[in-house]
Amino acid sequence: DTGVSQDPRHKITKRGQNVTFRCDPISEHNRLYWYRQTLGQGPEFLTYFQNEAQLEKSRLLSDRFSAERPKGSFSTLEIQRTEQGDSAMYLCASSLGGGVNTGELFFGEGSRLTVL
Amino acid sequence: AQSVTQPDIHITVSEGASLELRCNYSYGATPYLFWYVQSPGQGLQLLLKYFSGDTLVQGIKGFEAEFKRSQSSFNLRKPSVHWSDAAEYFCAVGAGSGTYKYIFGTGTRLKVLA
């Protein structure tokens, strides 16, 4: 399978704990995105990487959230001191930048976080 | 500010009936527009996209959508719905340089009656 993969698919944690999600994009894609989706809502943009550079962070991404893409390949999203409001599906997507078809995103199946 | 509105939260249709899902956007420039489908436990799958050119675009699974600039709309249509089309459908507009930052609507959940 050469699609976007995310791990873990489900994570249940207690409030105050730290969690980390991993995303492996499609191998030739240089752009990687994180979105968050809560129940009954569409995905909301969190942050975006081009290669290893984090180019934009949403205001939704509080100081407790950090994302990295150290070698321009996989990415991690860490949430520190989780709160119940962090419960959501965290979606990763990737795309191939440049050209007339710039912007088509390919999504992974998501990592569902439940904070108790 | 850019936004996407999907006015119908839930739609129920009978199998074989036609379908139209509404999407209205607010965006200052020519938008890049997308429709995605999300089935339970599945990731978002791109149905179709509009970047430029012909305003009627064809997608996968027999779906099509029409871009109407005057109405700021990008409605999704299918002439005959199949039970397997039951899912949640999201309209999105590409915002920002390089269209990397999608803005999604809140989605329309489609139920198909046998």
Query: Tens-digit pLDDT profile for chain A (116 aa)?
Result: 579 999 999 999 999 999 999 999 999 888 999 999 998 899 999 998 989 999 889 888 889 999 999 988 999 999 999 999 999 999 999 988 755 455 678 899 999 999 99
Report DSSP state, residue B68: E
Q: Locate B101 and state its tokens.
A: 């930052």
CA distance B55 to B1: 24
Burial zone of A106 (CB within 10 Å; 0-12 exposed, 13-18 middle, 19+ buried): buried
Chain A residues interacting with chain B (CB cutoff of 8 angstroms): 3-4, 31, 33, 35, 40-45, 48, 56, 91, 93, 95, 97, 100-110
Task: Report the residue of chain A nearest B49, measured CA to CA.
Answer: A104
B107 contacts in chain A (CB < 8 Å): 40-42
SS3 content of chain A, % helix, strand, coil (to 5): 5, 50, 50
Task: Report the residue of chain B nearest A6, measured CA to CA.
Answer: B43
